[in-house]
């Protein structure tokens, strides 16, 4: 398979940045999942698709958009009714889903080469993200595993909470660099580290 180059590489500068004299409150990084797959069910086939997701990933998925789960290697979350994003460290997830999700159930779209995954973690991660998105990032409203679909200045983003103070953000590769720069600027105030 072709090695993917990071669209963030010219801007990804490891180290401490911003106002870090009193400590680092945010950690920023680019993750490199092997597979990012979008699944969509035809009307009335949502439960069948969810069963297929469980069969391939082993992850349980609560009903409704926004629900999700993660085991640290694989993640799945609903971002709209009958639509799901599945992320895995391994490549080839789209092929696995193509065997389970037939054309009678829905569609499988491999987004692995079209998205960039950015992770923000730390005690001020919610606070920094709240500068961008009109979403309640508090843990009770946005539990671990859950996902949201939203925009920031016309940049479409899918966000999944992957830990108590950690979020993975999936953006189009073509917007990744400008979004990264804006995220770094927003984290300046609390001090951040790029790893």
Q: What is the number of structural domains in the chain?
A: 2
Spatial distance between the Cα atoms of 62 and 81, rounded to a whole number of angstroms = 12
Q: What is the pLDDT of residue 2?
A: 60
**Any idea what the CATH number is for the domain that residue 44 is in?**
3.30.70.1520
* Boundary residue ending a domain (60, 95, 110): 110
Please answer whether residues 78 and 158 qualify as being in contact, where contact means their C-beta atoms are separated by less than 8 angstroms.
no
Spatial distance between the Cα atoms of 84 and 179, rounded to a whole number of angstroms = 23
Please answer whether residues 28 and 183 qualify as being in contact, where contact means their C-beta atoms are separated by less than 8 angstroms.
yes
Is the residue at 9 inside a domain?
no
What's the mean pLDDT in 164-180? 95
Per-residue exposure over 139-156, b if at least 16 CB sit within 10 Å of its own CB, e if not:
eeebeebbbbbeebeebe
With a cut of 90, say whether residue 127 has pLDDT above it.
Answer: yes
Domain extent, residue 167, equals 15-32+115-194
41 DSSP β-pair partners? 106
Q: Reduced to 3 DSSP states, what percent helix, strand and coil does the chain have, rounded to the nearest 5?
A: 25, 35, 40
Q: 3-state DSSP call for residue 51?
A: helix
Q: What is the pLDDT of residue 131?
A: 93
pTM of the prediction?
0.90
Q: What is the pLDDT of residue 1?
A: 52
What's the mean pLDDT in 55-72? 80
**Any idea what the CATH number is for the domain that residue 188 is in?**
3.30.1360.120
């Amino acid at each position: 398979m072709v090695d993917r180059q990071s669209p963030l590489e010219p801007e990804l500068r490891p180290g401490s940045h911003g106002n870090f004299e009193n400590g680092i409150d945010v950690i920023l990084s680019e993750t490199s999942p092997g597979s990012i797959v979008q699944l969509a069910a035809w009307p009335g086939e949502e439960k069948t698709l969810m069963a297929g997701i469980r069969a391939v990933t082993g992850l349980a998925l609560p009903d409704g958009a926004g629900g999700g789960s993660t085991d640290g290697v694989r993640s799945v979350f609903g971002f709209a009714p009958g639509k799901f994003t599945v992320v895995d460290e391994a490549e080839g997830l789209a092929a696995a889903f193509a065997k389970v999700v037939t054309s009678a159930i829905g569609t499988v779209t491999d987004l692995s080469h079209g998205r960039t995954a950015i992770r923000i973690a730390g005690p001020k991660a919610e606070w920094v993200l709240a500068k961008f998105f009109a979403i309640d990032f508090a843990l009770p409203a946005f539990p671990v595993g859950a996902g949201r679909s939203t925009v920031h200045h016309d940049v479409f983003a899918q966000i999944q909470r992957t830990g108590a103070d950690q979020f993975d953000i999936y953006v189009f590769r073509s917007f990744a660099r400008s979004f990264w720069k804006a995220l770094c600027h927003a984290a300046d105030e609390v001090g951040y580290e790029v790893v």
